[in-house]
Amino acid sequence: MEIRVVQGNIAQFESDCIVVNLFEGVSAPGGATGAVDQALGGAITRLIASGDFTGKAESTALLYTDDKIPAARVLLVGLGQAEKLDRHGVRRAAAVAAKTLAKTGGVENYATIVHGAGIAGLDTAQASQSVAEGTLLAVYQATQYKREQKAVGLSSCTVVEFSQDKLDEVTAGVKRGEAIARAVHTTRDLVSEPPNVLFPVELAARARQMAEEVGLKSTVLGEAAMREMGMNILLAVSKGSANEAQFLILEHAPAGHEDEQPLVLAGKGITFDTGGISLKAGAEMWRMKNDMGGAGAVIGAMEAIGRLNLPRRVIGVAACVENMPDGLAFRPADIVTGMTGKTAEIISTDAEGRLVLADALAYVARFNPSAVVDLATLTGAVGIALGKVRGGLFSNNEALQNALLAASEASGEKLWPFPMDEEYVEAIKSDMAEVKNSGGRGGGLSSSAKFLEHFTEGYPWAHLDIANMVWSDMEKGAEIPKGATGYGVRLLVELASAI
């Protein structure tokens, strides 16, 4: 679906439908809604008076215009209480509108105003970004494997802004929202793909293709190159797989920023996690196709960062590996030596994410990063602690942690901090090697992060455990459909814009 911006009066805009809004408790609408109401001879006022539409958040009402205005329909969308509306409410309202119209058979092209930039007083560019995000995120479908396509009938959404003065801000906001939403779609596509299609070589190839389109530098290391560099902790995980592991490196270095210390994003890219020799139980194993959700988020974020040409150097890496049981597979009790020379004892081959990240975190030290943020579907425990509401945040640097919390509030992709006390290291001390890859259940979230921290090399670092966030068995609001959520992209773009 296309999204555009024009200057004009939405009441006079010709299209299959125009979208205007209403706050809860308003009986006589003003602004664009008021103008449309007047043109319709008070139809909206009468609808409110009837009690059939109250402006409650996420509610909608569809009206037919009987040729009183150029548009064939008016969709009213409720914004809830004016004092409570924020950019997340705007995103949701735009998503509800898009979703409602996608189901309305006769609507192909529609127009909308920017919700919230009027009396609610939200920042125009931010509200416009939210409108674009909500609109595009709501119409995502992963139907490539169904021969009968349930096509989304929508082909365009035009954002109509009355004020000439605000047009530049609206255009900039919509552009930003569009770049971010399309990148979220990329991530959702990657996470949705089945593991027989999206194995490490394919994941890296798709990322490279994206990089070429966007103008990012890309490098992929195969197993031979990784062996030469001593990335043997990562390679141990790949031993049982017939699919070659790949280490992906994407770089955004805009002119004038080539030599600055980069922000590094590092993703866990396990294209399928059987658990290896520490085999997982069968019933829910299919879900482990989303075990590359961290890599997916990094790839999506790099796409948006490149398209937006953010004025900052950012490097994204992803450790792409398949974790399979096999006669050649690594085993519990194996001891492996990684890139830094540090040794690790394998307690569970199912704690493979921290292993592939160990060498990724060692590798990125060469970039002299200003900060490193890793994203990983690392533990089942994070979902026990936080449900599917917030991802887990672990950091050894207060400024980075605060920047991530701020990005989490700004993007709506929420995080919650966990402790990183030195005492948590006790659980991962090994009798045989320097560390072991599982510290048991008690405090297992913090000890998993301590394992990762052990392989960082002095730079500010944060770990996001997003195992609970990358996939949802039900729709989480109109902008987040069932299935792959694309979590992390909005958050990382916000972070890269702020630090």
Give the interface with ligand BES as residue ranges (CB under 6 A): 273, 288, 291, 348, 350-353, 377-381, 438, 467
| Cα gap 38→384, rounded to integer Å | 53
Candidate residues 353, 444, 483, 488; the one interacting with Zn ion per rule CB under 5 A: 353
Shortest gap between Cβ of 323 and Zn ion (angstroms)?
7
| Cα gap 318→299, rounded to integer Å | 8
Candidate residues 133, 189, 223, 273; the one interacting with Mn ion per rule CB under 5 A: 273
| Strand ranges across the sheet with 217-221 | 217-221, 246-252, 314-323, 263-273, 371-376, 461-465, 391-395, 415-417
Binding mask 94-133 for Mn ion (x = CB under 5 A): ----------------------------------------
Q: How many residues does the chain have?
A: 499
Interface with Mn ion, residue 350, by CB under 5 A: yes
- Is the Cβ–Cβ distance between 163 and 207 less than 8 Å? no
Q: How many CB atoms neighbour CB 295 within 10 A?
A: 36
| Alpha-carbon 4 to chain mean position | 23
- Contact partner, 381, from ligand BES, Zn ion, Mn ion, none, Cβ < 5-8 Å per class: ligand BES
Looking at the DSSP bridge assignments, the partners of residue 29 are none
Interface with Zn ion, residue 16, by CB under 5 A: no
Shortest gap between Cβ of 381 and ligand BES (angstroms)?
6
Shortest gap between Cβ of 379 and Mn ion (angstroms)?
9
Report the residue number, 193 or 350, with the smaller CB distance to Mn ion: 350
Residues designated catalytic? 280, 354
Helices 87-102 and 124-138: angle between axes, nearest 10 degrees: 40
Between the CA atoms of 86, 156, 21 and 98, what dihedral angle is there, to the nearest 10 degrees? -70
Report the residue number, 291 or 465, with the smaller CB distance to Zn ion: 291
| Alpha-carbon 297 to chain mean position | 5
The candidate with the shortest Cα–Cα distance to 347, out of 430, 274, 445, is 430
- Looking only at residues 267 through 286 of this chain, which bind Zn ion when binding is defined by CB under 5 A? 270, 273
Interface with Zn ion, residue 391, by CB under 5 A: no
Shortest gap between Cβ of 450 and Zn ion (angstroms)?
18
Shortest gap between Cβ of 94 and ligand BES (angstroms)?
30
- Contact partner, 303, from Mn ion, Zn ion, ligand BES, none, Cβ < 5-8 Å per class: none
Count H helices, E strands: the chain?
A: 14, 19
Report the residue number, 124 or 447, with the smaller CB distance to ligand BES: 447
Name the site residues for Mn ion (rule: CB under 5 A). Answer: 273, 350, 352
Which spans of this chain sit near Zn ion (rule: CB under 5 A)? Answer: 270, 273, 291, 353
